Chains A and B, each alone.
Chain A
């Protein structure tokens, strides 16, 4: 289970990177990065998962005293939430940039925006 999740995650990351590095269209690049981000998030969660344990929520089902033995690692879960939020922020920013870039040149081809160089 963990292996499958991890594998999926890494495949998504590689797919995303491949897409981002080969597509010239800015929107496609952004989508590719989103795919890669999703992969990263899956990997994060997968690392924290321990087979046969429950969610790290302390209630009647999981009293605090037994928590250490019964819950999965809560840290990656907390991390993944933050990572998702930040990923969302960056993706939004990129989309806003894409919009402005399109206004500037009337094109979304990344290779058209290379006046700054050397």
Chain B
């Protein structure tokens, strides 16, 4: 094994050696530098493997042939090895990336880069305080040199600001070091940690404080970090990558970690607080940014703040400390470096200029991977790390820290995914300008892709060493990821693979499901496969569709079989992200997809909080153990989980994302996200209620509140649906109402209520998927979704008409279709419960549903055909096919509902005191009466047949008339529009009930968003850009922290 001091020696030696080369031998110098970095990297990797694979103990490297404290010693353990590999490899990749700049500036710049990397390694390895100072100063000098690699003239001012700050830092550091030395008699960190704690009281404590502050400021905490943001914005992106990933994110935080060894736990709360404030504030301020590199700078400050929080909490993290800190640190480093490297491909600095990446799937995949790492999404290390961190925080009851982190993380995800929306949706000025905005140099692409590969590799490693099973082994997820590689195939091949895969997976996993899971599995997997039939209508390759869709279905299929909270939550995140990518594919869905994501992640974070609070440190927390959560915590856990799940079902108040997201999605995506995805929320609520049952918070029955929320959602959702002009928005609002019914049923907490909810789960999947497809098909042909622009399509699109007709019969709950079954069970359910008031609301929403359903048939298919629609054809075959399957399914389900429900009924029996239904033969009996689907069907069929025959008989002599063979008030209409008026159809009702339609909720959330943005825009003005102001802020920061520390 090569002595690790050679990392320092080679770095420094080569830097001097480069000075001996001729100025003109630039390529030689470049090659020498790369070789030196490669050797350094090799040494570090060897040591890393030595520690990681062989499990070796840390080694001390002595200098000057003398043991510490008389000479400097370096230490190399697994932490140091990991960090050095990170620093050197990042340096090597950045050096490759900066090839042109380095060749232009020659060997001096290359030496400076080597010194920079070497000094960072020095900071990581040294155990001597003064040595730490020296390496820090080397970093300062090297940074001041490397900033000038940038083509941005302003980099010069940023460099000078940094020098001002570093002067202040070095004064603090030196004073701190010398007085700490004076009190403890040693410069060795371990030696100091060994001295008794009393020595660092009084003046000694002040000395330590100055030292800690100096090192902390190198980690760029808010608000003493204006200079760092300026560097991030103006430096060469490859240097910003190094500065963020290697300097702040690795060396500086590790120096903080080492210093804290000296005083034990005393300073940990202060570091936590500083980190937490940085994390939240930086992510808040980033909301108001428009420059890409400055945004990344803010994000970097935030992430380093998060690492500081982990360092500050290390007293409670125990063995998990390195796993957690490492997960966050490495994810941040790779993602941030990768994003900075991508920014170097673009010549414009506005966030929206990144739309030039569109059309480069590989770069988009890289971008997605990076922002997923930053947001802590599975399967990346930061996901595992955050989970473990929250577990530890919950055990200790440090919930407010968890709350702040989650809030900051939500802010961060908002601006990162908003940015992603820009990439996919924003127009570039002119198409031909793309070539100028984006320049794809091969060596730069290699660097970026290396980062992607390393990121996924680490995701694998973190999964391997976690106590949970590796998420990357999950078959559905692998299936989804394989479509990233298969994306070059034509869509129809991929579609066939998808359908076959989903059906096969269902068949294979069939024995695993209990009856309740089985219903969901059928809907998710087989139901999904049916919807995919409609996807055959798409031509070309449909890049990005299949990985996203499969990610969602992977999440769904993992969700139903998840046994412990970790896998449940991971599956939840997968389906959230997958569906976001699906939704954003719609033409105008950029803002809606973002609001969907923000609400969903907010909900997911509540679920996360609920789970970790419930688990109290139990790592493999079984979902069934939710029932054993003790009294003071239980209602809170219930509340967190319930709100989280209800975000997904879009209850009133949390619903504003749904209409846009579902309506703007593509034709075959709308049924997926409506018919299928919404059920995930219901599934969550079922799991929750089944295990936690009724909970009381301050004497209020929580299920009772849920009941009210369900009733209000049903009522208001239906009402809003009735006033829509856009057919797909109408269906979307109707989903809110339908989910309200289901929620109501579940919250009744009796067996019949649950049966009714199950009925709604199945029915809603079938008819909502069907209606979305029919309406989508119609919209495809007519080119509009506004219903009043349609009319009379019955003759041209008869099959779509039949589908809609059957659909609305089923939704409205009239006999003979299964909707009636739902209502029947539902009426039985409320007969046996005592909640009268919400019941009235639910009753009222029934007729309202008629209003909007009637519009669907009347406005689109009946009335007068519009002139421009005379030559329309029926919807495409592949969109019709699933609709016809659904018609058949509705019929079958209407005849034999017991097929699906009787097992569920039996399964639910032990959970409830009341008894369910009796499924003797073909008749279903309850306490109040019976329901015989087959006889109802026969009766209706006979009546219908008789009436129809009679109609044919009396009309046999009827005369066929043309469209305008009519006269109104002695006036002959000349245009169809004048005879078929359907805009603002329910104006009278709107007059009566319009006050209920005030967009109060939308306004509330808009106000929250505005407030955050205004706040961000105000606070960021604090960074005036004046180097001197930054220095004063730094001084104020140090003094304020000291005062706070003295106070507490």
A residues neighboring B (CB under 8 Å): 13, 17, 20-21, 24, 26, 29, 33, 36-37, 40, 43-44, 47, 75-76, 79, 82-83, 86-87, 89-90, 93-94, 97-98, 100-101, 104, 110-111, 113-118
Contact = CB atoms under 8 A, between A and B. Distances in A.
A76 B181 contact: yes
A94 B181 contact: no
Given A47-B181, A115-B1025, A116-B1025, A33 B130 contact: no
A101 B1028 contact: no
A101 B27 CA distance: 31
Contacts of B1023: 117-118
Interface string B115-130: 0000000000000001
Given A43-B178, A90-B163, A116 B158 contact: yes
Interface in B154-201: 154, 156-161, 163-164, 166-168, 170-171, 174-175, 177-179, 181-182, 187
Contact of B174 (A33, A44, A114): A44
Contacts of B167: 20, 33, 36-37, 90, 94
B881 interface: no
Nearest to B182: A47
B1025 A89 contact: no
19 contacts: A20-B1028, A21-B1032, A37-B171, A40-B174, A40-B175, A79-B177, A86-B134, A90-B137, A90-B141, A101-B160, A113-B1027, A114-B1025, A115-B154, A116-B157, A116-B230, A116-B234, A117-B1023, A117-B1025, A118-B1025
A2 B133 CA distance: 25
Interface in B209-237: 226, 229-230, 233-234
Given A40-B174, A90-B137, A113-B157, A47 B179 contact: yes
B179 A36 contact: no
B contact residues, range? 35 or more
A21 B1029 CA distance: 8
B160 A113 contact: yes
A90 B166 contact: yes
A89 B137 contact: yes
Given A20-B164, A114-B1026, A93 B144 contact: yes
Interface string B1010-1034: 0000000000110111111001100
Nearest to A78: B130
A94 B1031 contact: no
A117 B178 contact: no
Nearest to B1017: A118
B962 interface: no
A113 B166 CA distance: 18
A93 B140 CA distance: 10
Nearest to A100: B156
Contacts of B178: 43-44, 47, 76, 79
B137 A114 contact: no
A110 B1027 CA distance: 7
Given A21-B1031, A26-B160, A82-B130, A118 B175 contact: no
B153 interface: yes
B232 to A, nearest CB: 10
Closest 10 CB pairs of A and B: A117-B1025, A114-B1025, A113-B157, A116-B230, A33-B167, A86-B137, A118-B1020, A97-B160, A114-B1026, A47-B178
A75 B179 CA distance: 12
B1026 A110 contact: yes
B440 interface: no
B1028 A79 contact: no
B1035 interface: yes
A97 B167 CA distance: 14
Contact of A83 (B153, B163, B174, B233): B174
Nearest to A89: B141
A21 B171 CA distance: 14
A75 B187 contact: yes
Secondary structure at chain B's binding surface: helix, strand, loop or mixed? Answer: helix
B1026 A97 contact: no
Contact of A111 (B134, B137, B145, B1028): B1028
A115 B1024 CA distance: 9
A94 B137 contact: no
Nearest to A34: B167
B202 to A, nearest CB: 16
Contacts of A37: 167, 170-171
A17 to B, nearest CB: 7
A113 to B, nearest CB: 4
Nearest to A98: B160
A115 B160 contact: no
B134 A116 contact: no
A20 B157 contact: no
Nearest to B232: A116
Nearest to B162: A97
Contacts of B158: 116
Contacts of B1021: 118
A106 B160 CA distance: 16
Contacts of B182: 47
Contact of A104 (B153, B164, B179): B153
A6 B994 CA distance: 79
A98 B1027 CA distance: 13
Contacts of A94: 160, 163, 167
A111 to B, nearest CB: 5
A7 B615 CA distance: 57
A37 B173 CA distance: 12
Nearest to B153: A104
Contact of B171 (A36, A82, A98, A100): A36
B171 A110 contact: no
Contacts of A90: 137, 140-141, 163, 166-167, 170
Contacts of A33: 164, 167
A23 to B, nearest CB: 8
Contacts of A21: 1028, 1031-1032, 1035
Contacts of A47: 178-179, 181-182
B171 A86 contact: no
Contacts of A75: 181, 187
Contacts of A93: 141, 144-145, 163
A50 to B, nearest CB: 11
B990 to A, nearest CB: 46
Contacts of B1035: 17, 21
Nearest to B226: A117
A37 B137 CA distance: 14
Given A90-B167, A117-B1023, 7 more contacts: A44-B178, A86-B134, A110-B1028, A111-B1028, A113-B157, A114-B1026, A117-B1025
A31 to B, nearest CB: 12
Contacts of B1032: 21
Contacts of A13: 171, 175
Contacts of B234: 116
Contacts of B137: 86, 89-90
A101 B1027 CA distance: 13
A100 B153 CA distance: 11
A98 B157 CA distance: 9
Nearest to B144: A93
B196 to A, nearest CB: 21
A94 B181 CA distance: 29
Contacts of B1020: 118
Contacts of B134: 82, 86
A84 B644 CA distance: 59
Contacts of A118: 288, 1020-1021, 1023, 1025
Contacts of A104: 153, 156
B211 to A, nearest CB: 13
A43 B175 contact: yes
A16 to B, nearest CB: 8
A64 to B, nearest CB: 14
Contacts of A20: 164, 167-168, 1028, 1031
Contacts of B171: 13, 17, 36-37, 40
Contact of A101 (B141, B157, B170, B288): B157
